[in-house]
Homo-oligomer: A and B are copies of this chain.
Amino acid sequence: MLVIHDCDTLRKWARAWKTSGRLVGFVPTMGALHEGHLALIRRARRECERVIVSIFVNPLQFGPGEDYARYPRPFEKDRALCEKEGVDLLYHGQVEDFYPSDFRTTVSVRELTEVLCGPHRPGHFDGVCTVVTKLLLRTMPDIAYFGRKDYQQAVVVRRMVRDLDIPCEIRLVDTVRDSDGLALSSRNAYLSGEERKAALCLWKGLSRAHSLYKAGERRVGELRSACLRVIEGEPKAKLQYADIVDPQTLRPYRDEEILQGPAVFAVAAFVGTTRLIDNILLA
């Protein structure tokens, strides 16, 4: 496995593979790899001839009070995992190489970023869009893989890629969960034992709504209430939002509405000082 730290060498390899007609798959990550990332990598490995993984904790997508400094960076462990999964190239980007002091450009997507996590994390999606544009244009993959756990991110990135004509297909990979249902996240590492138990309320709330949906409930207010009762019943959790949205436009349905087609139920909550998100498809 190639381990590359600078953009020029990365480009050289990416270009060589492109020129020789290899199908290139790309998995952008912030490292601290878990089974969710590995599912992305394995899917890329199955579907592509060359697999590039990037590890870059992107400062642009963290707000002032957020966890940029303490975000886990277990590089040697990540590297071993990539090696084991048969990754061809691991790109470990450096902040100075991404953002020189006179860096001034922003890529932003309107509307899709103004709901769900958007209002709670000002600037977050601009940071995501800007770095993903850079990563895609540095690696020039045929296919890039994103997790459904960060559903809004995936929808925003897909729109951005289409709008800017970035020649790459975006594929979504299902969320990987612990045996009890908790969605895997690098941020789960922040949770104490008690918090870990409390964190399960997100999934329990979503599951409750999903059961009602399966039983025929289509009233948005009823579905949301069922989830809210679970999360608000957990004293260690502080809900940020619990919204049922259109899968493409992310427009939140109002409580008075009746679902006519598929929808995504997305939630965010703090457990202690750790912010967690999760979502489920209602279809």
Q: Contact size class for A?
A: 20 to 34
Query: Which segment, of A38-46, A100-108, A197-205, faces chain B?
Result: A100-108
Residue of B nearest to A248 (CB): B102
Inter-chain CA distance A103–B159, complex, in Å, is: 8
Please determine whether B165 and A138 come into contact, CB atoms closer than 8 angstroms.
Answer: yes
Tell me if A's interface is mostly helix, strand, loop or mixed: mixed
Q: Contacting A108 at CB < 8 Å: which of B11, B102, B108, B164?
A: B108
Chain B residues, Cβ within 8 Å of A164 = 105, 107, 130, 133-134, 137
Residue of B nearest to A106 (CB): B108
Residue of B nearest to A111 (CB): B104
Q: Is A212 an interface residue (CB 8 A)?
A: no
Report which residue of A103, A105, A106, A249 has the largest number of chain B beta carbons within 10 angstroms of its beta carbon.
Answer: A105
Please determine whether A105 and B7 come into contact, CB atoms closer than 8 angstroms.
Answer: no
| Binary contact readout A148-165 vs B (1 if CB under 8 angstroms, 0 otherwise) | 000000000001100111
Please determine whether B105 and A159 come into contact, CB atoms closer than 8 angstroms.
Answer: yes
Task: List CB contacts (< 8 Å) of A40-55 with chain B.
Answer: none
Report which residue of A104, A109, A111 has the largest number of chain B beta carbons within 10 angstroms of its beta carbon.
Answer: A104
Measured between C-beta atoms, what is the minimum distance from A155 to chain B in Å? 11
Q: Is A110 an interface residue (CB 8 A)?
A: yes
Task: List CB contacts (< 8 Å) of A73-124 with chain B.
Answer: 102-112
Chain B residues, Cβ within 8 Å of A137 = 164-167
Q: Is A179 an interface residue (CB 8 A)?
A: no
Chain B residues, Cβ within 8 Å of A260 = none
Chain B residues, Cβ within 8 Å of A165 = 7, 133-134, 137-138
Chain B residues, Cβ within 8 Å of A109 = 104-106
Q: A103-B163, A106-B107, A106-B110 are in contact. List 20 more A-B contacts (CB 8 A).
A: A7-B165, A104-B109, A104-B110, A104-B111, A104-B112, A105-B108, A105-B110, A105-B129, A105-B159, A105-B160, A105-B163, A105-B164, A106-B108, A106-B109, A108-B108, A130-B164, A133-B164, A134-B164, A134-B165, A140-B167
